[in-house]
Amino acid sequence: MSAEPLPVSFSPSLDRPAAVSGARERVLTRLVVVRRLLALDEAGTLQTVHVRIAAQTAGVNVRTVWRWLAVARESGRIEPAARRGAFMLTDALWARLGELGGNVKALHRWMAGHADEVLPALGRDRLPSLSTLHHAANRERRAGRVLDLARPDYARVDPAAYDRALAELALPGTVDEAGEATADPAPKDGADSVDPAGTSPFTGGVRLYVPGAHVVSTRQLGQVTEAIAHTIAARGTVCVYGDPGHGKTVAVHQALRLLPRRIPVRHAVVSVKPALPQLRAVLLTAFGLPATALTNRTDAADRALLEAFQTPGALVIDDVQRIAAPELDYLRLLADAPTTQTSLILCGAGAERTLARAPALASRVLTWQQVPRLDGDQVPAVLRLFHPLWDAATNADLLHADATRAKGNFRTWAKITSHTYAALARHPETAVDRELLSGACSRLGPTS
């Protein structure tokens, strides 16, 4: 049986205010909603979709509408129970509570400081106590009234200050062997380098598999740094892609590390194939917005995200290949809004193939940056910067292991380093030669 359409006046409006205006209007809305749902129930055509539309129209939770309906079925009462003498929050006070982030104590302080204008509006001779205010706010929430929280201002960045900071930004791609910053925006050939041990901010988030290892800044990482810095300055979208283990995440963090601290960088951690509500919740969390309160309120969540995207900065989405095409199009809508100033940094193995399935978003990517494997001539120098145990190895042995097993994959080399380090710990007299490397490589699993 098909769902019976609700009256036009009952359908949700895109321009409906976030908080339903006035206690009287909320009561009337409840009367209309419950009467219509009861009529459908008596006709045997009531479906869940009717209740969802009713909840969206009334600006309340779906469970609230089911509770209204249950009360009406049991007692025949469709209007809310009157409570004599209870303090009620006016629309102005409810909106002010939203601006204060839902902090009832802050609202009470504000009312005390503006008693001359608040008391006449309330028709009272004295202000309610803090506990009375708490009870009134809790009653409104239990009744299903939605609090439209304002986004805090602490993360806002003045666009002029943002542009000035980018203009003043030095973009060294690496440091030299002595730990001094180079003046070049990207490393020259053969100028691979390393952060001193214990100073790298990535060792806590990147698996190095062995004590004493360093995060190495290679030519490839310098190129990613340039690409991301340019894209953020242009407030565009960048896609960083490449095979697993080539250092995409390290390269992105290396670039973001060089940005001025006043520029906010958000990180969105997505699950595998997130549905649109899940993706929306992840984005809200990344911007520090109340995901729990906004996830099921599509219009309010979209407005909050569009406002958040007005802040200059960067939003990093790693493993973007986990997101399906329809959800990627939602990202495109946010990034394509005229007021958006947040740059999107999309990163992941196979990210370019994923974005190809979302051509609307792919066409808006300003920069495509591939992170390739290490070149053969880079391997010996990079490995000796990565860990001191490779100082005793010959170039020929390292190149042989790279050609047969590692194939320029930095993550694979980190694993080989870990097994070699363990073997040397067990047998300190062992030389770092081809035989030891072969034994370490044998622990990597079967060859493909």
CB atoms within 10 A of CB 50: 21
Q: What is the pLDDT along the chain (448 residues), one digit of tens a residue?
A: 444 433 333 333 333 333 334 555 666 677 778 888 888 888 888 888 888 877 777 777 888 888 888 888 887 777 666 555 577 788 788 888 888 878 888 888 888 888 888 888 777 778 888 888 888 888 777 665 666 665 444 445 555 554 554 444 433 333 333 334 333 333 334 444 444 444 333 344 456 677 777 777 778 778 888 888 888 888 899 999 988 888 888 888 877 877 666 678 899 988 888 888 889 889 989 998 887 777 667 788 888 899 999 988 899 999 999 999 889 999 999 988 889 999 999 999 889 999 988 999 999 999 999 988 888 888 888 888 888 888 888 999 999 888 888 888 888 888 898 888 888 888 888 888 888 888 888 888 876 4
Give me the residues paired with residue 347 across strands: 240
Number of H helices, E strands in the chain: 20, 7
Q: Which of 33, 43, 42, 28 is nearest to 68 (CA)?
A: 33
Count of CB atoms situated within 10 Å of the CB of 326:
11
State the greatest distance between any 2 C-alpha atoms of the chain, in Å, as a whole number: 91
The residue type at 304: A
The pTM for the full model equals 0.55
- Residue 54's H or E segment, with its range, is helix 48-58
313: which 2 tokens? Answer: 């900065």
pLDDT for res 388? 86
pLDDT at 182: 39
The residue written with tokens 């419950």 in the block is: 34
Residue by residue, DSSP assigns 240-309 as: EE-STTS-HHHHHHHHHHTS-TTS-EEEE---SS--HHHHHHHHHHHTT--HHHHTT-HHHHHHHHHHHT
pLDDT at 180: 40
Burial class (CB in 10 A: 0-12, 13-18, 19+), 213: buried
CB-count burial class (<10 Å; 0-12, 13-18, 19+) for 43: exposed
DSSP letter string, 148-180: -PPPPSTT---HHHHHHHHHH------B-TTSP
Q: How many Cβ atoms sit within 10 Å of the Cβ of residue 196?
A: 10
Q: Residue 256 to residues 56, 162, 199, 303: CA-CA distances in angstroms? A: 40, 14, 16, 27
Tokens 């494997």: give the residue: 373
Cα 264 to Cα 38, 164, 232: the distances in Å are 50, 15, 11
